[in-house]
Chain A
């Protein structure tokens, strides 16, 4: 009796182990094929300007619940980073697959990381205090070497997001919260963006772009734009900033001229949008942190249909 009992338990465990492995292999292949066709179909449907611009939506696991920034590599792969740990994940947004993950140093680098961008082969990771972490892409589960550069702007502003514009060879850093008292007037009614030319030099070379926000005639309050990330449209060369609280996009030129403002599509159910990126083939990618719903990455056609324009 005891031998049968032990044998039954061992068989159950062995079947479970083998079965899960086999199911995983079988399902993944079918899943990828299905997702490729599904993405293409949604993409085609989203090209109709009057339809829902959403192309795909991926639910993120708990260990990716606090994505704070997105950027795209030259080959179209997307890099995302955590809010508090220097962990970078590479995601295929078309298939909804996390292809690899690597960390800075030994994985113990902590901070308030708010933005990520690429300058050639170098990846720039920005903290809210204006510290840049420079590194290169690593292998899966690897720890990569890095170096830090202080923009010396941390006392002026709490940063949220960074993007590199190759045309002006400059980094653009939107300011979420102005720290200097004399600059507090910029918090409402406009968006303050810092432009840092590369290579980084004196703070005298830093330019400040004050982008006026459209005033709503029905409200006496000055409009606000709590920037959470910024990206570059490869097609037009414009910069696009994302506001988390207002769930709004602000498109402007590198000279600081506002092109348009628009709201995120309501179908996206954005609770806390924190990251934004635009692909070369016209896709807008928005990442949400987990709040009441799981964290997610939403893919739209770009440009969005003008569902709501605030002028």
Chain B
């Protein structure tokens, strides 16, 4: 509904903030309701009807029981108005449920949603409203309907437990609209939307290792940012794949590497990392260090990670020669240590910086 989007954009001044957009939509809805009330006061019946039995605006013409038994001239007007009120009620039901579907699709912990359920959230209240219109004043019809529903077995599996809550809300909105309490339905759904959105926004009740919705709104993961004021953070997806122990180890490595590489505003001492894997660490170390001495300006061994059952890892911090892009270093190390190393890779410091900026 692009025209609805444009109206909301105009009210929220183009803001992408979910809460503001929701408030903008409800502002449009309230203005529409007020306009409808001033145009035709009878529509106020839709919003807060008297549960004891509506008292329409008097004077009120009664149906003539002697003319056809149930209809007369006065009923023609009443029927037309009743049909119009019913149509407006159904449209109002859709307008009330529309933001609920948006919240359902957006405020989720798990990616993806049930598209059929989204449509159900719009259609179910309309059906329930119609059912309530039919059985409103007849106990016999209500029991008959209960019997029909019981005879038809409904089985559905909802992936998310919250989906059940949305279904219940749809049913309650339908019931409220059916008894001309559309105002109550709107209030309930509005409150529901904001509560769902805010609990999702602040991750109420979440696992502390799970990402919060705050990250969706481009706020940094400040717990892993440097205490020296730098706002650069490690790659978020990388961190999400790690447990707390590994996150800490990785953070310490980055801190150590950054210290050696220097800050962005200073000339780095080293500008690349050479990563070598080998089974025989001592033999590989001798040859790799000989090659690095020949083709780099300076180098230092950062760390050796020994493994059992698979090749060990050696990390060297290097300062490349002027004009070198690192390919010659890789070629030299391979050529010198052929047969004793499994693989060699070189990572320039610029690529680290680019990854941090994109995170």
Q: Which residues of A contact B (CB under 8 A)?
A: 2, 6, 16-17, 19-21, 23-24, 27-28, 30-31, 34-35, 38, 42, 54, 56-65, 84-85, 87, 89, 91, 95-101, 140-141, 296-298
Instruction: Return chain A residues, CB-CB under 8 Å to B67.
Output: 38
Instruction: Return chain B residues, CB-CB under 8 Å to A30.
Output: 73
Q: B72 contacts the other chain (Cβ, under 8 Å)?
A: yes
Evaluate contact between B55 and A20: CB separation under 8 angstroms.
no
Evaluate contact between B3 and A6: CB separation under 8 angstroms.
yes
Instruction: Return chain B residues, CB-CB under 8 Å to A6.
Output: 3
Evaluate contact between B39 and A17: CB separation under 8 angstroms.
yes
Evaluate contact between A27 and B62: CB separation under 8 angstroms.
no
Give B282 Cβ to nearest chain A Cβ, in Å.
75
Evaluate contact between B58 and A101: CB separation under 8 angstroms.
yes
Instruction: Return chain B residues, CB-CB under 8 Å to A96.
Output: 61-64, 74
Question: How far apart sit A15 and B62, CA to CA, in the bound complex (Å)?
Answer: 26
Evaluate contact between B58 and A99: CB separation under 8 angstroms.
yes
Choose among B2, B3, B56, B62 the residue with the greatest number of A CB atoms under 10 Å from its CB: B62
Contact A98:B72 (CB < 8 A) given known A6-B3, A20-B80, A23-B77: no
Q: B59 contacts the other chain (Cβ, under 8 Å)?
A: yes
Q: List the 4 closest A-B pairs by CB distance, nearest first.
A: A57-B65, A63-B53, A59-B63, A96-B62
Give A310 Cβ to nearest chain B Cβ, in Å.
27
Give B16 Cβ to nearest chain A Cβ, in Å.
23
B55's nearest neighbour on chain A, judged by CB, is A63
Give B209 Cβ to nearest chain A Cβ, in Å.
47
Q: Which residues of B contact A (CB under 8 A)?
A: 2-3, 39-40, 50, 52-56, 58-67, 70, 72-74, 76-77, 80-81, 84, 137
Evaluate contact between B81 and A24: CB separation under 8 angstroms.
yes
Q: Which of A27, A56, A59, A65 is close to B76, meaning CB atoms less than 8 Å apart?
A: A27
Give B213 Cβ to nearest chain A Cβ, in Å.
33
Evaluate contact between A20 and B64: CB separation under 8 angstroms.
no
Q: Which of A27, A64, A140 is close to B77, meaning CB atoms less than 8 Å apart?
A: A27
Instruction: Return chain B residues, CB-CB under 8 Å to A140.
Output: 58
B42's nearest neighbour on chain A, judged by CB, is A20
Question: How far apart sit A95 and B62, CA to CA, in the bound complex (Å)?
Answer: 8
Instruction: Return chain A residues, CB-CB under 8 Å to B80.
Output: 19-20, 23
Question: How far apart sit A84 and B39, CA to CA, in the bound complex (Å)?
Answer: 34
Give A298 Cβ to nearest chain B Cβ, in Å.
8
Instruction: Return chain A residues, CB-CB under 8 Å to B60.
Output: 61, 97-98
A56's nearest neighbour on chain B, judged by CB, is B66
Question: How far apart sit A59 and B66, CA to CA, in the bound complex (Å)?
Answer: 9
Give B180 Cβ to nearest chain A Cβ, in Å.
11
Evaluate contact between B55 and A87: CB separation under 8 angstroms.
yes
Question: How far apart sit A296 and B65, CA to CA, in the bound complex (Å)?
Answer: 8
A296's nearest neighbour on chain B, judged by CB, is B65
A66's nearest neighbour on chain B, judged by CB, is B53
Evaluate contact between A28 and B39: CB separation under 8 angstroms.
no
A58's nearest neighbour on chain B, judged by CB, is B62
Q: Which of B2, B50, B59 is close to A99, meaning CB atoms less than 8 Å apart?
A: B59
Evaluate contact between A28 and B74: CB separation under 8 angstroms.
yes
Given contacts A21-B40, A63-B53, 17 further A-B contacts (CB under 8 A): A17-B40, A17-B84, A23-B76, A28-B61, A28-B74, A34-B73, A56-B64, A57-B66, A61-B60, A63-B56, A65-B53, A89-B58, A97-B61, A98-B58, A98-B59, A101-B55, A101-B58
Question: How far apart sit A296 and B76, CA to CA, in the bound complex (Å)?
Answer: 19
Give A32 Cβ to nearest chain B Cβ, in Å.
8
Evaluate contact between B62 and A98: CB separation under 8 angstroms.
yes
Question: How far apart sit A30 and B66, CA to CA, in the bound complex (Å)?
Answer: 17
A32's nearest neighbour on chain B, judged by CB, is B61
Give B141 Cβ to nearest chain A Cβ, in Å.
13
Q: Which of B56, B59, B76 is close to A100, meaning CB atoms less than 8 Å apart?
A: B59
A26's nearest neighbour on chain B, judged by CB, is B77
Evaluate contact between B59 and A27: CB separation under 8 angstroms.
no
Instruction: Return chain B residues, CB-CB under 8 Å to A24.
Output: 77, 81
Instruction: Return chain A residues, CB-CB under 8 Å to B63.
Output: 58-59, 96
Instruction: Return chain A residues, CB-CB under 8 Å to B137.
Output: 62
Question: How far apart sit A97 and B64, CA to CA, in the bound complex (Å)?
Answer: 10
Evaluate contact between B53 and A62: CB separation under 8 angstroms.
yes
